[in-house]
Amino acid sequence: MPVFIEFAASSALVAWFSSCRKQAETELHHARSELQLRVEERTAELKQTNERLLAEIVERKRAEDAYYEAQAELARVTRISALGALAASISHEVNQPLAAVVTNADACMMWLSSEPPNLEEARLAVDCIAQQGTRARNQVEIQTELADDLPTAMGDRVPLQQVIVNLIQNGIEAMSAIADRPRLLVIRSERPAPDQVLVVVQDSGIGIDRKNERRIFDAFFTTKAQGTGMGLAISHSIIEAHGGRLWASGNSAYGATFQFTLPTGGETTS
């Protein structure tokens, strides 16, 4: 009898352990299945996030390309506009005096051909021809003070030329209404530091209002009736893109000074 009871107890214990093992295996299988499901879900989420990030990167790259393309196009249009305005200004400044020169030359011939020749009127006509001939040169004196043996500045020649042309044109326009003093435009270059060159364009025009010394480089800010407010803004961007700095200041007496620096390559050129 005791042997039978011991056997029954042992069988019950084995059955209990077997039941616990099956339950543990079932729970483990369920946990593995749930973990696998979560891993697959998380993997799918990460894949979607990665795809969104890649799409955002592509879109950002496309937007950056479009921005730089638009900026380049704007610079090109502005450059063409500036050159067109300069050409129109030169044409206007030259055509009007030339027309007056032709008219006064005809008048001079008429006065000299009369009987007797009217020398006084002819002299006045010649004086007018001389005055109009001077006017066709804008009555601007260009003075250059270029330093020798400057180091070579590395950069894109075309946009840097655009900056210089724009600064010269602005200086000439700033002196167009000046009649009580010489119209002097000074272009100077020097070496302020071993690794820099400095270019200065100084005029004797109307000058710059102190409050506008920083604003004049803002896009669309202009003090000209027909200005676009983009020339100086683009010039500022070009110089900064070359690792330099462009700034402006009013002169102590009259006029304004625009100057910019450029980093150099270390080599000197005459």
pLDDT in tens, 234-254: 888 889 989 999 998 888 888
The domain total for the chain is 1
Distance in angstroms (rounded) separating the CA atoms of residues 241 and 235: 10
The backbone region for 154, taken as left when phi is positive above 0, alpha when psi lies in -120 to 50, beta otherwise, is beta
Q: What angle do helix axes 119-135 and 2-113 make, rounded to 10 degrees?
A: 170
* pLDDT confidence of residue 250: 84
Distance in angstroms (rounded) separating the CA atoms of residues 245 and 242: 9
Pairing mode, strands 140-146 and 183-193? parallel
In a domain, 133, yes or no: no
The pTM score is: 0.51
Distance in angstroms (rounded) separating the CA atoms of residues 79 and 89: 15
In a domain, 122, yes or no: no
Query: 10 Å Cβ neighbour count for 31?
Result: 10
Domain, as residue range, for 178: 140-270
Q: How far is CA 68 from CA 64, 163, 243, in A?
A: 6, 19, 18
Query: If we measure between CA atoms, which residue out of 177, 162, 189 comes closest to residue 261?
Result: 189
In a domain, 102, yes or no: no
* pLDDT confidence of residue 220: 64
256 within 8 A of 249, measured Cβ to Cβ: yes
Amino acid at 220: F
Query: What letter does residue 210 receive in the DSSP assignment?
Result: G
In a domain, 269, yes or no: yes
204 within 8 A of 179, measured Cβ to Cβ: no
In a domain, 87, yes or no: no
Low pLDDT (below 50) residues in the chain: 3-4, 269-270
In a domain, 233, yes or no: yes
* pLDDT confidence of residue 106: 79
* pLDDT confidence of residue 139: 73
Q: Please, where are the H alpha helices in the chain?
A: 2-113, 119-135, 157-174, 231-241
In a domain, 200, yes or no: yes
State the residue for tokens 């724009």. 166
pLDDT tens-digit readout, 178-236: 888 888 889 999 998 888 999 999 998 888 777 666 667 776 656 655 555 677 888 88
Exposed, middle or buried by CB within 10 Å (0-12, 13-18, 19+), for 73? exposed
Query: 10 Å Cβ neighbour count for 94?
Result: 14
Backbone angles phi, psi at 205, to 5 degrees: -90, -145
Distance in angstroms (rounded) separating the CA atoms of residues 91 and 76: 22
CA atoms within 13 A on the CB side of 157: 1
CATH code assigned at 268:
3.30.565.10
In a domain, 120, yes or no: no
